[in-house]
Amino acid sequence: MIDVPDGFHVPPKTQWAFTPSLQSGITQHGISGNILTGTMLGTHVTLHHGGDGAQFAIEQTDDYGAGLVFDFGDFASDFFSLAFEIPLEGVRDLGRQDLLRFILRTQVTEPFEAYARLNLCYGPNTEQIVRMINIGAGESFAEFDIFYTEYEQKRAASAWIDLIINDPSHKRITLEEAIILRRARASL
């Protein structure tokens, strides 16, 4: 059985799922001000941005859910990203016969597009696949087909997915849930 949050659709042939904890690094009162790049929000979630002195706020969702609210205001950086680390057991079992699906449940005033970037590290190599993903449209996803990479399962070291938001200034984003699924691709 695949354990995912309520309301998520699990595609056929799904073999593995991971739901990163978003709140373990955020207190009930949230954090604000100059939040440093590299700050961990949860065991497998780290935030990054490109600005020194970037001022913004992060708080837990009002409904006591598992999500976070990001309020960027006059954010002094051209990008903001969240890195979702895939646990080692998920990396070791990932092969070129698989698809990875990155699913988000988000809310914003005006939906916009962001980037989801899969990073696969094997031996001295890192391969990246970039896809567009909708933010604020409720549930949306990006899918990565490992078949079209040079990824070598026997040399797997680590993997993570970056959610990259360009120009987050004046945006307020509620990230309710995130999930990563691995499933077998259809045979040709």
Q: What number is the average pLDDT over the span 37-45?
A: 89
Is residue 3 situated within a structural domain? no
In terms of DSSP H, where are the helices of the chain? 88-92
pLDDT at 25 (0 to 100) = 64
All residues at 6 or more sequence positions from 152 whose CB lies less than 8 Å from its CB, including other chains: 122, 123
Give the CATH number of the domain where residue 26 resides. 2.60.120
pLDDT-derived band at 65, boundaries 50, 70, 90: low
* Gyration radius from the chain CA atoms: 16
The DSSP string of 122-158 is ETTEEEEEEEEEEEEEEEEEEEEEGGGS---GGGEEE
pLDDT at 180 (0 to 100) = 96
Is residue 5 situated within a structural domain? no
Is residue 64 situated within a structural domain? yes
Is residue 7 situated within a structural domain? no
Q: What is the pTM of this model?
A: 0.92
Comparing 26-35, 67-76, 96-105, 170-179, the range with the smallest average pLDDT is: 26-35
Structure tokens at 158: 């680590």
Q: What number is the average pLDDT over the span 6-29?
A: 81
The answer to whether the CB of 41 falls within 8 A of the CB of 22 is yes
Q: Residue 21 is part of which domain span? A: 14-184
Is residue 19 situated within a structural domain? yes
pLDDT at 86 (0 to 100) = 96
pLDDT-derived band at 53, boundaries 50, 70, 90: low
Is residue 1 situated within a structural domain? no
Structure tokens at 14: 């799904």
Is residue 8 situated within a structural domain? no
- CA proximity to 125, closest of 153, 87, 101: 153
Number of domains into which the chain is organized: 1
Q: What number is the average pLDDT over the span 121-136?
A: 95
Is residue 4 situated within a structural domain? no
